Amino acid sequence: MADASKTLAVTRMEGPEDRDPAELENPAWADIEDAIRRLDGKTCSLLILGIGEPPVPHMAIGGGERGQYIVYATTDNVAFHKLINPQAPPGKCLLVAGGQRGNYDRELCITMAEVLRAARRYAERGELDPALSWKKVRITGQPDQSDQEILQRKNKKAGLELNSKPAFFCDRRAID
């Protein structure tokens, strides 16, 4: 367990309330974990963990209903690293993230345990957890081939297959 007094890399946290995305400066890990656990896919559907001045770099965690979440991190709002489950079955999952309902590829639907692991590494070190599977996509929705090939080789060594279909992002618009 990390020292509760440890200074985190994350300097700001927005959410998880959709109607009031209040910002908390220099949150402790307990604040972040509590906010993640409050995500319910209804009134609390998006949490942003930021490092430095907004809007980037940051990690976004959305969803929460039925224990399903989506996670991405970006340093420039051009390239996005999406947390994936390479063993997910084909198909879609319905999530509300940032107040917007969307059908996401099942590989993007992540469990609470994976979310907490990814968020903790990001909060403590400002980096992606290399033990988790990430897919890098550009804002155009096209995977970065060199990074995608590296990830595929890494996952193949681990005995995993990687689905290379691009996915979509959500915004903060409320559901009508």
Residue found by looking up tokens 């990814």 in the block: 118
pLDDT tens-digit series, residues 49-71: 999 887 889 999 999 999 999 99
Q: What are phi and psi of 58, to 5 degrees?
A: -160, 165
Report percent pLDDT > 70 for the chain. 74
The pLDDT value given to residue 139: 80
Q: Tell me how many degrees the CA angle 80-83-84 measures, rounded to the nearest 5.
A: 125
In the predicted structure, residue 109 carries a pLDDT above the cut 60? yes
- The whole model's pTM is what? 0.75
In the predicted structure, residue 157 carries a pLDDT above the cut 90? no
Token pair for residue 86? 């390479």
